[in-house]
Amino acid sequence: MATFRQPGTVLTDHVLAVPLDHDDPAGETIDVYAREVVTGGTPDKPWLVFLQGGPGSASPRPIGRDSWIDRALDDYRVLLLDQRGTGRSTRISRQSLARRGSAHAQAEYLSHFRADSIVRDAELLRRHLLGDDGKWTVLGQSFGGFCAVTYLSFASEGLREVLITGGLPGLDARAEDVYRATYPRVAAKNAAHYARYPGDVEAVRRIAAHLREHDVRLPNGGRLTVEAFQSLGLALGSSTGSHEIHYLTEDAFESAGVLSDAFLAAVEHRLTCVTNPGYPLLHELCYGQGDGATGWAAQRVRAEHPEFDADDPVLFTGEMTYPWQFEVDPALVPMREAADLLAARPHWPRLYDPAALAANEVPVAAAVYHDDMYVDRELSLETAGRIAGARVWVTNEHEHDALRVSSGAVLDRLIAMVRGEV
């Protein structure tokens, strides 16, 4: 258990072996890693465990008291959990999946990396650090909020408080329901972007036309297709994403009429899943519950929105994953068959228990971002109404990344809400 210091903080590593399949506790194990952050020594403060957005993303790597952690450390001992499959926990990667053998074996392995397994990992870690009777606060951002609702559904006895930012899932929504709700929100973000930067309409159209007419390769050898270029719109749901896309596209071409190396390198950095293959593999599985395959729902629902195939203007897409990603991204190509098997899987365990949520006694406070491009506002509010005692703050002051960019203001408000101070 290594401990080291940063300006104003002391960080301690924790690693715990947990079952790959929690229903087979005597079977294969994987490691789960978490980083404890305190202000110095061993202050007698309650624990707060952070559940990162994603899926497939590691927890933050802090430098001192940065971002929301600064506010959290005033009241809590913070635990940054690398969810299974990410960061320093046993990781999902091209190499690790290859060692599983066949695509069927890979898909079976990946089926154990959803929110239900993440929550059971957290419970083992809680008991390891706090004892059986200890309770902690959960802070869930985006997909981490989905995990927090799963936690409330099946293991609320370990919870002291729950704070959720941009992450209240539809309890009964299927993948296609989510995308039918979010495609129009993505279109609205596109409209706002082009209203802010009208010159980008022609700049983006020119790039898309070039991609249709040429075989354009990124530095890693992956093909840059129109669909891949459109997926840069994932950024439009963040506080600075529109500006970033403008700067990316405004000078994409060299004077000779070819796309510049600088542009292609920047696009590759945004598009490759080499560091987080868990995201395209697991994203739609967040919505898999009960009978019925997710079936590449984002691709199917896109066909209901022909505006995303038009060129006047060219619309960017959002937080959707598509089968073509496993054809054009060299980091994902070896995983294509496993991804198809997961998409075709006919049954998934339930992730939420409406009856348990209706009887909830854990204090819950949630921020719902009115114009959230990633997590539908109406589905979030419906869920909030089904969690007993949940308090909700609906705001259009912030985008989905507000926890990270608000210098602790969003977290401060949620802490006050959960304590009944506002």
Give bridge partners of residue 137 from the DSSP assignment. Answer: 48, 161
| Residue-level pLDDT at 43 | 65
How many residues comprise the chain? 422
Amino acid at 35: R
Is there a catalytic annotation at residue 142?
Answer: yes
Is there a catalytic annotation at residue 372?
Answer: yes
Q: State what percent of residues in the chain have pLDDT above 90.
A: 97
Question: What number is the average pLDDT over the span 120-147?
Answer: 98
Tokens of 7: 């300006």
Question: What number is the average pLDDT over the span 178-200?
Answer: 98
φ and ψ at 416, to 5 degrees? Answer: -65, -40
Is there a catalytic annotation at residue 117?
Answer: no
pLDDT digits (tens, 9 = 90+) for 257-282: 899 999 999 999 999 999 999 999 99
What is the per-residue DSSP string for 134-199? Answer: --EEEEEETHHHHHHHHHHHH-GGGEEEEEEES----SS--HHHHHHHHHHHHHHHHHHHHHH-TT
Say yes or no to pLDDT of 324 above 90.
Answer: yes
Say yes or no to pLDDT of 231 above 70.
Answer: yes
- Angstrom distances, CA of residue 243 to CA of 22, 101, 114: 44, 43, 33
- The pTM is what? 0.97
Say yes or no to pLDDT of 42 above 90.
Answer: no
φ and ψ at 353, to 5 degrees? Answer: -120, 95
Work out the number of other CB atoms within 10 angstroms of the CB of residue 181: 17
Say yes or no to pLDDT of 149 above 90.
Answer: yes
Kindly tell me the sign of the dihedral angle through the C-alpha atoms of 84, 88, 93, 99: negative
Give bridge partners of residue 5 from the DSSP assignment. Answer: 10
| Residue-level pLDDT at 332 | 97
Catalytic residue among 372, 376, 398, 406: 372
CB 322 within 8 Å of CB 296: yes
Domains of the chain: 3-171+352-418 (3.40.50.1820), 175-348 (no CATH)
Catalytic residue among 112, 193, 283, 400: 400
| Residue-level pLDDT at 44 | 85
Question: What number is the average pLDDT over the span 154-177?
Answer: 97
Report the mean per-residue pLDDT for the chain: 96
Tokens of 174: 């299927």
Question: What number is the average pLDDT over the span 408-419?
Answer: 97
pLDDT digits (tens, 9 = 90+) for 341-352: 999 999 999 999
- pLDDT band, residue 41 (cuts 50/70/90): low
| Residue-level pLDDT at 174 | 95
| Residue-level pLDDT at 1 | 74
Q: How many CA atoms lie within 13 A of 100 on its CB side?
A: 20
Catalytic residue among 111, 142, 238, 380: 142
Work out the number of other CB atoms within 10 angstroms of the CB of residue 382: 15
